[in-house]
Structure 1
Amino acid sequence: MEPLRQSTDDLDRTGKQTQEGYAPFIIVVNSGWVDGERAMHLVERKNKTGFSVMDSDDINRFKPIEGITIPDGMAYMLADIDTGKQTLNVTPNEALPTILQQNRSPLTLEEGIALITHYPELLGKNNGFSLLASRCGDRRVTALWISGGRPKLGWCWAGNPHTWLGSASCGGRRGLPAGNSL
């Protein structure tokens, strides 16, 4: 992971990291190495493990939407992550064009799980976030929230707003520098 660590040197870490709902960067393990269901069981928040209402087959149906390029390799870095407080009570369908217009990218299912693995405190009671960059061909959008005190991976309809659910985004994805591989 050392080559990824070196690519954090130019990130702006002033001020934003103290804002609620923000992370400067995270490492994302590609789903080919750890699937979403297993990854959710590895998430821990306040001594409670994560879970999903979807089985592995359903989770694996969710793939990156058109325009989202995931870096090659076992892992990559996601930078400038926002859980989407400005999109609370906005439908995922309406939030996506806004995120893209801001030159940001929505998060995939794997990226959302990685975010709460690194920063479980970003997921709060009555304050979750949708993962708009992963779709499976129907009207569902995956999302993360707290249920029974535990981090939960589930889904919501893309056309329904929720007062407690925003849409997470990032400033970019960085793969390993040329010549490195994991």
Structure 2
Amino acid sequence: MSDQTSPSFGAGAEFDRQVGTLTALGYPAMSGRTPEQFAELVAPLRAEAVAHANTPYDLDAGRVPFVLVVTRELAPVERTMPLTTLHGGRLPGFVDRSFEPGALERFVATKEAEPPAPDAYLLFDVERGEEFCGAVPDDAMAVVAERGRTLLTIEEGIALVTHHPQVLVKNKCFSLGGSRSGDRRVPAIWISQKAPKLGWCWEGNPHTWLGMASAGSRRA
């Protein structure tokens, strides 16, 4: 997809598409709401999308202007990850068994990546960070911070793949340094068994196929 910028790419229409995607996947029922109630919940974010989606849109480069994120308070990670698929694929995403029982609950947003709302919000200027493929995650996270950008959380990574499965491709997958559990593990989403997989890697171990996803800002 060629680069486009807001408002020419239609931020309002793109927001509506993302709401439609979540509705079709069952997010309203998952959050205990009807489709109408869910639409009402996220409706105020539409104006924010139109006003602030002004960065390049290039799926080939893994960059999108914004992503609508639903927090784990409404949609648990264990239920949303299986709703992801690869672009053109059918196999459901999954959580790797390397997460011991109760581990996902301990992977929470860092102070710098705290969500601005308890239910839903927008993540702007999102990049999968393929330039960091092969870099030590600790080093990549430091560079992202120096640039004044923010690391993606697990929920945000799932949202990115949900709305834009084209960004998850072979050798261009990404770590999610915005969620940590107090140890050396850094969660990541990559491709396994022809499906998206949520796993983790050590903060000091580089992988040629894992970049570091980041964003410009969050708004509620």
TM-score (norm 2): 0.75
Aligned to 2:90: 47
Note the alpha carbon deviations across 1:71-100, whole angstroms, 9 max, x for none.
123100000000001111111100111101
My pick for the range that moved more, 58-67 or 132-141, is 58-67
Aligned to 2:13: none
Aligned ranges 1:67-106 → 2 under 5 Å = 67-106=112-151
Check if 1:21 corresponds to 2:62. yes
Consecutive unaligned residues of structure 1, counting only runs of 5 or more, are 176-182
Aligned to 2:50: 9
Aligned ranges 1:1-182 → 2 under 5 Å = 1-13=42-54, 16-18=56-58, 19-45=60-86, 46-53=89-96, 54=99, 57-175=102-220
Give the Å deviation of 1:2. Answer: 1.6
CA distance in structure 2 between the partners assigned to 1:119 and 1:22 by the alignment: 10
**Greater strand content:** 1
**Greater helix content:** 2
* Aligned residues of 2:112 and 2:178 also touching (Cα < 8 A): no
* Aligned residues of 1:35 and 1:60 also touching (Cα < 8 A): no
CA distance in structure 2 between the partners assigned to 1:108 and 1:73 by the alignment: 14
For the pair shown, the structure with the greater C-alpha radius of gyration is: 2
CA distance in structure 1 between the partners assigned to 2:187 and 2:129 by the alignment: 14
Note the alpha carbon deviations across 1:10-43, whole angstroms, 9 max, x for none.
23546x2125111111111111111111110111
Aligned residues: 174
What secondary structure does 1:137 align onto?
A: coil
4+ runs deviating over 3 angstroms: none
What secondary structure does 2:134 align onto?
A: coil
